[in-house]
Amino acid sequence: MRATGILETVLYAENLGRVRPFYEDVLGLECFQASEDRQLFFYCGDQVLLIFDPAKTSLARPPAAGVPPAHGARGAGHVCFRAEAAELDRWRSRLEEAGIAIEADFEWPAGGRSLYVRDPAGNSVEFAEPRIWRLPRRVRTLRGAKLVVASHNRGKRKEIDDLLRPFGVETVMASDLGLPEPEETEATFAGNARLKAEHAAMASGLAAISDDSGLCVDSLHGDPGIYSARWAGPFKDFALAMRNVEEKLQAIGATTPDTRRAHFISALAVAWPDGETRCYEGRVDGILVWPPRGTQGFGYDPMFLPEGATLTFGEMEPQAKHAVSHRARAFAKLVDDLF
């Protein structure tokens, strides 16, 4: 016979009050038991991380039901948390923002990357890709799942519903669950998509999908970009947003097709309540037309003419748009990974 998995990892710390914020607040683990200044127990995926004060656990206690035997160790230990490649930069930023020094950021010769830090008790804490041990990426699937659409935009919900329907996925809007929209504080589409999906997954206890997308205009140095929705104002008036874009183009004399080049970007993020997040990006290039054409779609669709097309996204039937859109291209990558 053989052991089939690791159930728990144990570290020791002489001051549990100092280490608890590191694991609970910085790493986001759920502390499900803390007792007698003796122990901290955290859930981490399908395993548990146990942290004991060796000064307490090494003392023999009278035998009683449920009382474990004396145990303990002194000196620094080591724990390694699984992280996919795309997560490691985010972990590095989060740790540095929390004032945690990065001891090493190491690329393994055979492939894979590790980050090393110390917890307040001096234990070595590593974040690493599973492939450093030739382990496969965790298998995930959304087929037949119930999924929170982390958006209050009904147009996005309809497009995501249309894309997911063939896979038997049931969706529910974050707004229908009473979940507030988190402030979008990241500097990239992918960062904001992750933020919204993770917020919805943690609040609902369900897997969540989020899209962060926008229009990037070459002559406007990429604007409105991640601020595409904000250009529509508090009432999400995209007729106003399109006028704003056109006025700025007219102000710089951008009246020919080569000066009106633009692209849509979509970043789709899927997050699970256990903390894993995956992100997929798609892009479609085109030019901006004026006046806007068509009443299909939403957002900036009526003024965007994709390359090689004669109809704007606002003129295309939904199925035609889904065949070429930035969101559909991101979704194709998601399907390859999760269905």
pLDDT tens for 133-164 read 887 777 788 988 899 999 877 777 888 888 88
Question: What are the residue ranges spanned by the domains of the chain?
Answer: 8-131, 146-338
Known catalytic residue at 212:
yes
pLDDT in the model for residue 232: 94
pLDDT in tens, 37-57: 889 999 987 789 999 998 888
Domain topology for 8-131: 2,3-Dihydroxybiphenyl 1,2-Dioxygenase; domain 1 (3.10.180)
Cβ atoms 229, 258 nearer than 8 A: no
How far is Cα of residue 276 from the mean position of the Cα atoms in its chain? 8
- pLDDT of 271 > 90? The answer is yes
pLDDT in the model for residue 55: 86
CA atoms lying within 13 Å on the CB side of residue 309: 23
Spatial CA neighbour of 304 closest among 321, 318, 319:
321
φ/ψ region of 274 (left if φ > 0, alpha if ψ in -120 to 50, else beta) reads alpha
- pLDDT of 317 > 90? The answer is yes
- pLDDT of 303 > 90? The answer is yes
Statement: the pTM of the whole predicted model exceeds 0.85:
no
Q: What is the C-alpha to C-alpha distance for residues 259 and 253, in angstroms, rounded to an integer? A: 8
pLDDT in the model for residue 276: 85
Domain topology for 146-338: Maf protein (3.90.950)
Higher pLDDT, 6 or 334: 334
- pLDDT of 166 > 60? The answer is yes
Which position among 53, 119, 211, 212 bears the catalytic label?
A: 212
Q: SS3 of 304, please?
A: strand
pLDDT in tens, 21-34: 999 999 999 999 99
